Amino acid sequence: MDENRERLMREIMAADFTIIDLNLYLDTHPNDFRAIMLRNNFINRSVMLRNEYECMYGPINAQLSMSKCPWQWIKSPWPWE
């Protein structure tokens, strides 16, 4: 796999994991302002990284990614390849 593509995908997964873990923390600490700010920052970061990835390597997700014509989702390689 393209080295940059792999690095980007790993960073997206890491940012998304951080968001999930902060979600869980906030379920029991709903007034933790710092955790909410951190989560907001990581959501921005995830969106930014996804845009960067999709501009260069195509859609990550068949449901939520914009496509140009022809339909990009079936174009190889898949995000997990």
For residue 32, what are the CA distances in angstroms to 20, 40, 42?
A: 16, 13, 16
Q: Is 30 in the site for another protein (CB under 8 A)?
A: no
Name the strand (E) or helix (H) holding 80: none
Q: Which of 17, 47, 71, 77 binds another protein (CB under 8 A)?
A: 17
- Cβ proximity of 38 and 22 under 8 Å: yes
Q: Which stretch binds another protein (CB under 8 A): 22-30, 50-58, 67-75?
A: 22-30
Alpha helix segments (H runs only) across 1-81:
3-28, 33-57
Q: Which of 27, 28, 66, 80 binds another protein (CB under 8 A)?
A: 28
Binding mask 36-55 for another protein (x = CB under 8 A): --x--xx--x----------
Comparing CA positions, the residue from 14, 75, 8, 19 lying closest to residue 42 is 19
Kindly list the residues in this chain that would bind another protein in the complex (CB under 8 A).
10-11, 13-15, 17-18, 21-22, 25, 28-29, 31-32, 34-35, 38, 41-42, 45
